[in-house]
Structure 1
Amino acid sequence: MRRSIPTLLLPLVLAACGGGATPNPNPNPNPTPVNQIRARIVACPLVNQSSDPAASACLAGTYSGKTLSGADCSLVVQANGDYTFTSPALSTTYVASDRTIRVFGHQNVGGMHQVIWLIGDPIQSGDSYDLDFKYADGLGRTLEIEATKRPAAGGTLSSTCTAVLN
């Protein structure tokens, strides 16, 4: 499956589908300092539409912020693409498999970094989960993470976690 990825002025986007839910009401108590998060994103390899799992391993770490209501939230990303999103409204865990489709790209345009990471399973039964991870390097350096659960029975439940990286 090939996806076309726009390469100009794109925020960091992580989209993940699939996985199972694991309730965990407590965000990670040891988040990565914000200056290290920006450095980690900027240090990602400069590649375009790579499906190599090693390309996105640079995103491994803990991201923390606040929900729209001001509650603590976090995202923990493993080097292999597994992740755990935790907020009071929604907690999910995604485990990458041999069916997982990955697309990763990173460009540095005039000192502004654009990174895209898409990850998901093409065939999923039961509940499905999406995660959008957006980082805008030149626009206040805001990191926005939105997790969404789509139960097999219908409907959606989502939670947004935002951090400002200076």
Structure 2
Amino acid sequence: MRHSLLPAALLPVLLAACGGGGSPTTPPPGTGQGSALTTRLGACAVVNQSADPAASSCLTGAYTGKTLSGAECSLTVRADGGYDYVSPTLTYTFTATAQATRVFGHNSIEGSHQVIWLINDPMTANEPKELNFEARWGANIAAPKLEIEAMKHLNGGGSVSSTCNVPL
């Protein structure tokens, strides 16, 4: 029988991860939603204005925030590039097609990051939709933010839009 012993230095980490060892009930600073999002977004490939659907695959997941009026809003990005946007004034599902226009970019300069994702399908016959996703954070960013603007063009003219701000 083979036995292995964990180094004593790892024991407090394992106890905290398992809820033992008196771990705090609130997360320590820098471990909230913003930290997890900036870690995930920071892992995106550094590219400039890529139209390749694979470039934006790092955005897959859920984003929850508040509209400008303080109401809850969310964006769920699927692996196929489609997404679901939900807010009190605008809720829709977008399924990416081969004709969808996509632009993805991630710039990382001196500890500051900017991630953008623009996607729309102007050829959709039934109420074309647009999404603008922009995140900025890091050493030289005074006000880190993730702002998501969703828009649906209505048949017969006009549009409905919503802005969702996600804490970083």
Give the TM-score category using the shorter length: 0.7 to 0.9
Gaps of 5+ in 1: 1-31
Letter aligned with residue 142 of structure 1: K
Deviation at 1:162, TM superposition (A): 1.0
In the alignment, does 2:152 pair up with 1:149?
yes
Letter aligned with residue 52 of structure 1: D
Letter aligned with residue 159 of structure 1: S
Specify whether residues 139 and 78 from structure 1 end up closer, same or farther in structure 2 by C-alpha distance, changes over 3 A only.
Answer: farther
Matches within 5 A, 1:62-101: 62-101=62-101
Deviation at 1:129, TM superposition (A): 1.4
Counterpart pick for 1:140 among 129, 133, 143: 143
Letter aligned with residue 56 of structure 1: S
Q: Report if the CA contact (8 A) 2:76-2:83 is conserved.
A: yes
Larger Rg: 2
Letter aligned with residue 156 of structure 1: S
Q: Report if the CA contact (8 A) 1:47-1:104 is conserved.
A: yes
RMSD, aligned CA: 1.7
Deviation at 1:143, TM superposition (A): 1.2
Letter aligned with residue 112 of structure 2: M
Q: Report if the CA contact (8 A) 2:83-2:95 is conserved.
A: yes
Q: Report if the CA contact (8 A) 2:120-2:131 is conserved.
A: no
Specify whether residues 103 and 85 from structure 1 end up closer, same or farther in structure 2 by C-alpha distance, changes over 3 A only.
Answer: same
TM-score normalised per structure 1: 0.73
Residues matched between the structures, number? 134
Q: Which residue of 2 aligns with 1:159?
A: 162
TM-score normalised per structure 2: 0.73
Letter aligned with residue 158 of structure 2: G
Gaps of 5+ in 2: 1-31
Q: Report if the CA contact (8 A) 2:127-2:154 is conserved.
A: yes
Once residues 36 and 150 of structure 2 are traced to their aligned partners in structure 1, the CA distance between those partners, rounded to angstroms, is 23
Q: Which deviations, in whole Å up to 9, do the C-alpha atoms of 1:97-120 show, x marking residues without a partner?
A: 122232222121111112222222
Once residues 36 and 62 of structure 1 are traced to their aligned partners in structure 2, the CA distance between those partners, rounded to angstroms, is 12
